[in-house]
Amino acid sequence: MLVLVAPGQGAQTPGFLTPWLDLPGAEDRLRAWSAAIDLDLVHYGTKADADEIRDTAVAQPLLVAASLLAARQLFPTTGDLAPHVGAVAGHSVGELAATALAGVFTDDAAMTLVRARGQAMAEAAAVTETGMSALLGGDPETTLAHLDTLGLTPANVNGAGQIVAAGTLAQLAELAENKPEGVRRVVPLKVAGAFHTHHMAPAVEKLAAAAASVDTADPVVPYVSNSDGGAVATGSEVVARLIGQIANPVRWDLCMETFQERGVSALVELCPGGTLTGIAKRALPGVRTLALKTPDDLEAARALIAEHSTAQSLHASHESSHSSTAE
């Protein structure tokens, strides 16, 4: 069973979209989205420096555009995707790309929503100086208890020994000086605020208003939610979770548990891939992983999809059943 995942904020690097623009129709698609959301995605994906693309209002649309651009090279439509993919999910803002792949929103609607999300979260982040830091190693329960004593939120529980803490810069400075027992490193992340915490509460209402004007449909591919790792069956519930998720922790560990329960055999991470495949290699032993970083990775992705697609699994199951019946 194949899972398709989209990375979250922090995965972007200067110029990462440059090679993708050489693909037929890619630049036209990016320019159309740029005009629709009033943000020059071509510039930010090819020429902008690290500080420019760190801006939340820029980073979030850029990441969703990159994931959709890569996904549509593999599956031009959700109808093409559905027979081959057993589940889709995204980490934090990557959920907006996953909603489009699942058929909840059109690609254009997902870009409109991620633009509203990025702007709202950037405004919320400007109210107080906040940030996020990744904690590597240690016992999860010990780490969570320690964060609580410092007033920090476990904003991302990613599994495989990684928890991301979020809060004020003063709280994070104290964490760096006073690590939880067993934690090897505390790594500040290149993000502009304490996402998925109460600091983002002002952004929730703004995304809700934007979502109210967008048409939705029920997922045609299983959509696994960051909220609790559950597969969500209705478009209205997907939207409700997306809105609430802004101010609540990302439970990527539970998403991976769901992948495992559903029999995942391969995981493809969309552009700019690397982070989620790294976690999966530690948390999902035996599962084949592939990160789409440049168009050079597409051929390998197509081969992996052909080998692990849901359609192939269903065909094999049918053949096995037919053979048993015939005998």
**Catalytic residue numbers?**
92, 196
Contact 176, 222 (CB under 8 A): no
Decide: helix, strand or coil at residue 87: strand
What's the rounded Cα separation, in Å, for the pair 225 and 233? Answer: 10
**Shortest CA distance to 229 belongs to which of 199, 253, 265, 198?**
253
What's the rounded Cα separation, in Å, for the pair 179 and 143? Answer: 9
Contact 187, 172 (CB under 8 A): no
Phi-psi region of 269 (alpha: psi -120 to 50; beta: other; left: phi over 0): beta
What's the rounded Cα separation, in Å, for the pair 119 and 125? Answer: 10
Backbone angles phi, psi at 85, to 5 degrees: -110, 125
Give residue 46's Cα distance to chain centre. Answer: 21
